[in-house]
Structure 1
Amino acid sequence: MIFKILIAILVAYTGWYLWQGPKRTHRRIRPEPQNGEDSAARAVLGVPAEASETEIRAAHRRLINAVHPDHGGSAELTRRVNAARDVLLRRH
């Protein structure tokens, strides 16, 4: 009897796990931009070359909400997004 219950629990858990699917991962962010690498910084934030300061700040805010450690992200991703913002805002 106990064996049947354990099998039922295992089957139910496996079905639930398969239904949920794998954990959602954050979007892959390219390497941290170095001094003056505008193209890498634009790629991290996903903004075009002619993006204004307002567009850069909006893209940064949107990404930081997704990758911040308080929202399930990591400190490394947060550091890369902040570095990209800094590189692009120094240009303006």
Structure 2
Amino acid sequence: MTAASGFMEIALIVAFATLALGQILSIVRLVLGPTSGDRILALDTMVINALGLVVVMGIRHGVQIYFEVSLLIAMLGFVSTVALARFILRGDIIE
């Protein structure tokens, strides 16, 4: 094992732990959030953290399919956040 690969492993472990901590804190905000806006932001943050976790796993395992999965997660997360925000604001998603 070279020094560069050792540093890469440490960086991936730190990135994974940081994203996992962010995911846990987002779950806490989702449960304790006093307003619906806080809950929407917590869900959006959870999507971003899940996206980061999938990308870190893709880098760690060296498999290309993880990056395609991350694109799908990003698209679904954006659409679901917009739909939920419109539902909260207007009470209807489709006009």
Please state which band the TM-score falls in when normalised by the shorter chain.
0.3 to 0.5
* Bigger fraction of residues in helix: 2
TM-score scaled to structure 1, two decimals? 0.37
TM-score scaled to structure 2, two decimals? 0.36
Larger relative contact order (Cα-Cα within 8 Å, sequence gap ≥ 6)? 1
